[in-house]
Amino acid sequence: MSHTAIVTGGTRGIGAAISMALSEDGHKVAATYAGNDEAAEAFKTQTGISVYRFDVADFDQCADSVSRIETDLGAVGILVNNAGITRDGTLHRMDFEQWNAVLQTNLSSCYNMCRNVIDGMRERGFGRIVNIGSVNGQAGQYGQVNYAAAKSGIHGFTKALALEGAAKGVTVNAIAPGYVDTDMVRAVPEKVLEKIIATIPVGRLGYASDIARAVQFLVADDATFITGSTLSINGGQHMY
């Protein structure tokens, strides 16, 4: 069955792969983005997927944008919370802006988006929420106390909301990707990236399509008995 799906951070990297996969499955997809108009317009032209610009860290913008998306595309049945940023640095050098920006964009955004779709999902007796965490939220990472805290928070958020939605036909799951071949990862210095790849048993970075396939599985209409789970997709780098 076709649903309206929102994918935050849905015009680039992992988010773009998820948006395209859901669109190919017949869903009406709204891909959100924060500020890169050029990339978003190129994505829209290439795929035909609707794009919406707003700040997922701002609750009021999320509320207004969800309302606009539902007017344009219909009631939201699928939400993928994928938007995320990094502001890396060791804690003794990290200022509050670096901490807060990551927590707001990566974690508070899950509340902001879920709060604005959960009532409708419960009323209709159907909903699929997938939150994108990270291997670094499971294992930790040097210089990423902000990112690791936010992604770890996503895993707890997922389990709690899954309990609340279970009786209403709303499943809530998380995916914890390892290192995926995106612009963010490719920005890592080459020597550092080589060391990272050396720790991955399958011997390569992940592909965005690896994550997209898992989202397709979790949002399926018949995926009714999978909720509160975290699916680790990291090439065997961390078994949790």
Give the span between the Cα atoms of 122 and 139, in whole angstroms: 33
Give the span between the Cα atoms of 130 and 216, in whole angstroms: 10
Give the span between the Cα atoms of 41 and 73, in whole angstroms: 18
Structure tokens at 1: 């069955």
CB 189 within 8 A of CB 225: no
207 catalytic per annotation: no
Structure tokens at 146: 């902000």
In degrees, rounded to 5, the angle at the alpha carbon of residue 137 between the alpha carbons of residues 53 and 145 is 90
Active-site option among 52, 111, 142, 147: 147
Q: How many alpha carbons fall within 13 Å on the CB side of residue 228?
A: 11
Q: Where in the sequence numbering do the catalytic residues fall?
A: 147
